[in-house]
Amino acid sequence: MEYSTFGRHVAVDTWGVDFELLNSAEFLQAQMVEAAEACGATVLSVQSKQFEPQGATVLVLLSESHLSIHTYPERGFAAIDCYTCGETVDPQLAIDYLVSALKPEKCYAKKLVRGLGEMTVETPEMKQAELV
């Protein structure tokens, strides 16, 4: 069986997010698992770290690749990243879910199309996702 190397990698910087949301690894972990499931990905494992005095990192290992968030609550900032291999799982759906849950004041996103030769960079269309 031959596998495609095609993948999509969406990276988002969010600003103006509530401190309490960004400072709860437990909340973020739950939202990220729901986001992965919302885009049809298969969750293999989840790792999270609550930092002191504030901040969190959550990494969701997917069968299709990964979903991650790194937060700076004191700045209202979160860096969100989702990469998926193949064409069946759309990382943009996971990103839209997380952005809908975090409700940032500002959001900046780029999508890399990978695995087809030279990477291309696009500006994705962000949509409001229905939360579970």
Active-site residue flag, 66: no
Active-site residue flag, 82: no
How far is 50 from 57, CA to CA, in rounded Å?
7
Handedness of CA 83, 129, 51, 62 (dihedral sign): negative
From 24, 39, 65, 100, active-site residue: 65
| Helix/strand/coil for 27 | helix
From 48, 66, 68, 70, active-site residue: 70
| Helix/strand/coil for 58 | strand
Q: Which residue matches tokens 């190397």?
A: 5
Contact between residue 119 and residue 7 where contact means Cβ atoms under 8 Å apart: no
Kindly state the tokens that stand for 34. 């729901």
From 24, 85, 100, 107, active-site residue: 85
Catalytic residues, by residue number, are 65, 70, 85
